[in-house]
Amino acid sequence: MKILILCTGNSCRSQMAQGFLQSLDKNIQVFSAGTHPAEKVNPLAVEAMAEVGIDISRHIPTNVTAYLSDTWDYVITVCGSANETCPAFVGNVGKRLHIGFEDPSEAIGTTDFIKSEFERVRNEIKNEFTKFYMTEVKKQELPKSACNR
């Protein structure tokens, strides 16, 4: 199974979603990209993920154009802007989904508040992508029973 997670900057939400989804199943191929990628992954996203044992420190924001001709089982947008401006894929896309989250990099306030926003969004991403994995990915891996053959 091959999954692309798409957002605008590819520096926070899509990177965290990629990290969580890949941690759930090493056998699926998970990539992330941005419509207007940042220069690097947001350090607070890296820190938030490290707190739950997932290392995304080596991830690099990638432009979605690198993946437009590939075949995908799922293309999932995680921000409204990417959902609205999602480019046309030349390759085959099985399903296109939107699972949106607020952008923690837009949080304004104290350092502690901003960090808590990254943690809150990280937890929301974990919950939603675990649910996606259990309802979409795992059901496709179940063998057909003898009655369904």
Question: Is 12 designated active site?
Answer: no
Question: Is 147 designated active site?
Answer: no
Mean pLDDT of the chain: 88
Is residue 149 one of the residues assigned to a domain?
A: no
Is residue 148 one of the residues assigned to a domain?
A: no
Number of domains in the chain: 1
89 within 8 A of 66, measured Cβ to Cβ: no
According to DSSP, residue 72 is labeled E
CA distance 146 to 89: 37
Which pLDDT value is given to residue 62? 96
Domain that holds residue 38: 2-143
Is residue 110 one of the residues assigned to a domain?
A: yes
Is residue 47 one of the residues assigned to a domain?
A: yes
45 within 8 A of 20, measured Cβ to Cβ: no
Is residue 104 one of the residues assigned to a domain?
A: yes
**Tens place of pLDDT per residue across the chain (149 aa):** 999 999 999 999 999 999 999 999 999 999 999 999 999 999 999 999 999 999 999 999 999 999 988 999 999 999 866 556 556 665 688 898 999 999 999 999 999 999 999 999 999 999 999 999 999 887 776 554 444 44
Question: Is 7 designated active site?
Answer: yes
Which pLDDT value is given to residue 149? 42
Indicate which residue of 4, 7, 33, 75 is catalytic.
7
Indicate which residue of 38, 68, 86, 97 is catalytic.
86
Q: Choose among 128, 118, 98, 135: nearest CA to 4.
A: 98
Is residue 87 one of the residues assigned to a domain?
A: yes
Cα-based torsion angle of the residue sequence 25, 92, 4, 127 in order, rounded to the nearest 10 degrees: -60
- Write the CATH number for 106: 3.40.50.2300
Indicate which residue of 33, 46, 48, 79 is catalytic.
79
Is residue 73 one of the residues assigned to a domain?
A: yes
Is residue 84 one of the residues assigned to a domain?
A: yes
In tens, the pLDDT along 59-89 reads: 999 999 999 889 999 999 998 665 565 566 6
pTM to 2 decimals? Answer: 0.88
